[in-house]
């Protein structure tokens, strides 16, 4: 049994970030420093961790960043006014509003307010539409873009492959499916999206050459749902209770990793698979936004 089958997201993300270093140096030589604003609303602990990691990635690369932390009770109008100021700030090439937002704020209105050419998250309707149309001039969401890059740099052939995506969220599932069904070199797959309304998810999973789990159910994918030799990508970040852990909880993915790894051909570790790629793609989108603005 070959258990040396990990797709190492940390190493691949480091390669990507090293490649970006040269592009950032070229921008700086022209007097342009890429800049990214983070907006975080409330005290969601996971959002704090994610934004902190993104800030660190900016600092490590020499990307300017600033973070706006707003109270949970802020009105939608106040948040939109801040976004308009950030849209107008020429030091900033990207504006990112960390999800989730409080319930009284309409997420779709927020994402439609960030200018499409600063929408490094790829959530603005114009960028979502461009992704559907196969128009690569837009920004694409970082997590699915990172997974596509992981597959490409791990020489996983997607041409004609059966891909099953578990989850239909706007951040991962839907854009992932849209990317991999495009008629292009590193896509051209037959994509099935499964979700809570799917009748026999296990039967779909067992047909998959590439199985992408992004529905947010702890250790949902079991060994008997995976075709031997399949490529398994675990996007899940789920906190579960664990009496043996010091904090009383631990993080698990959407894949029962220990059981699935021996069946899979290749598999992402979690952590250390998709997460680092999401951040690397955010940095790439920000550098690209700065390059386009500097043209
Ligand atoms: N929350 C979970 N994933 C993401 C992401 O990729 N971007 C933002 N802004 N919020 C998120």
pLDDT digits (tens, 9 = 90+) for 201-234: 999 999 999 999 999 999 999 999 999 999 999 9
Write the CATH number of the domain with boundaries 142-275.
3.40.50.720
67 bridge partner residues: 38
What is the rounded distance in angstroms from the CA atom of residue 261 to the CA atom of residue 223?
8
Pinpoint the residues of the chain covered by CATH 3.40.50.10860.
Answer: 32-116
Would the pTM of this model clear 0.95, i.e. be above it? yes
What is the rounded distance in angstroms from the CA atom of residue 204 to the CA atom of residue 230?
13
* Tally of residues, the chain: 295
Pinpoint the residues of the chain covered by CATH 3.40.50.720.
Answer: 142-275
Closest residue to atom 11 of ligand 1, CA basis: 99
pLDDT digits (tens, 9 = 90+) for 255-279: 999 999 999 999 999 999 999 999 9
State the number of CA atoms in the 13 A half-sphere of 139 facing the CB: 32
Closest residue to atom 9 of ligand 1, CA basis: 98
What is the rounded distance in angstroms from the CA atom of residue 211 to the CA atom of residue 232?
5
Cα end-to-end distance, the chain, whole Å: 52
pLDDT of residue 100 exceeding 90: yes
Distance 155 CA to ligand 1 centre (A): 27
The ligand 1 site (C-beta within 6 Å) comprises 96-99, 121, 142-143, 171, 278
H or E segment and range at residue 49: helix 45-61
Is the domain spanning 32-116 CATH 1.10.8.870? The answer is: no
Residue 68: band (very low, low, confident or very high) from pLDDT cuts 50, 70, 90 = very high
Closest Cα partner for 267 from 198, 221, 202? 221
């Amino acid at each position: 049994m070959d258990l040396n089958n990990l797709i190492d997201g940390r190493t691949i993300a480091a390669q990507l970030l090293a490649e970006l270093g040269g592009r950032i140096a070229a921008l700086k030589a022209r007097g342009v420093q890429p800049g990214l604003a983070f907006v975080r609303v409330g005290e969601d602990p996971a959002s704090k961790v994610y934004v902190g990691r993104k800030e660190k990635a900016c600092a490590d690369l020499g990307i300017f960043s600033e973070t706006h932390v707003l109270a949970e009770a802020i009105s939608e109008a106040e948040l939109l006014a801040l976004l308009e100021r950030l849209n107008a700030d020429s030091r900033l090439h990207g504006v990112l509003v960390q999800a989730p937002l409080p319930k009284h704020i309409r997420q779709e209105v927020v994402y439609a307010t960030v200018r499409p050419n600063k929408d490094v998250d790829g959530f603005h309707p114009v960028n979502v539409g461009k992704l559907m149309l196969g128009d690569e001039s837009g920004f694409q969401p970082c997590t699915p873009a990172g997974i596509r890059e992981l597959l490409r740099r791990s020489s996983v052939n997607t041409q004609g492959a059966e891909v099953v995506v578990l989850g239909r969220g706007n951040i991962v599932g839907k854009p992932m499916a849209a990317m991999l069904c495009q008629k292009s070199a590193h896509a051209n797959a037959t994509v099935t999206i499964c979700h809570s309304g799917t009748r026999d998810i296990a039967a779909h999973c067992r047909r998959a050459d590439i199985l992408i789990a992004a529905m947010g159910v702890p250790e949902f994918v079991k060994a008997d749902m995976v075709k031997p030799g399949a490529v398994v990508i675990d996007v899940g970040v789920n906190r579960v209770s664990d009496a043996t852990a010091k904090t009383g909880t631990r993080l698990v993915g959407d894949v029962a990793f220990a059981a699935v790894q021996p069946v899979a051909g290749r598999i992402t570790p979690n952590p250390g698979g998709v997460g680092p790629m999401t951040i690397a793609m955010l940095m790439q989108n920000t550098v690209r936004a700065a390059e386009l603005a500097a043209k």
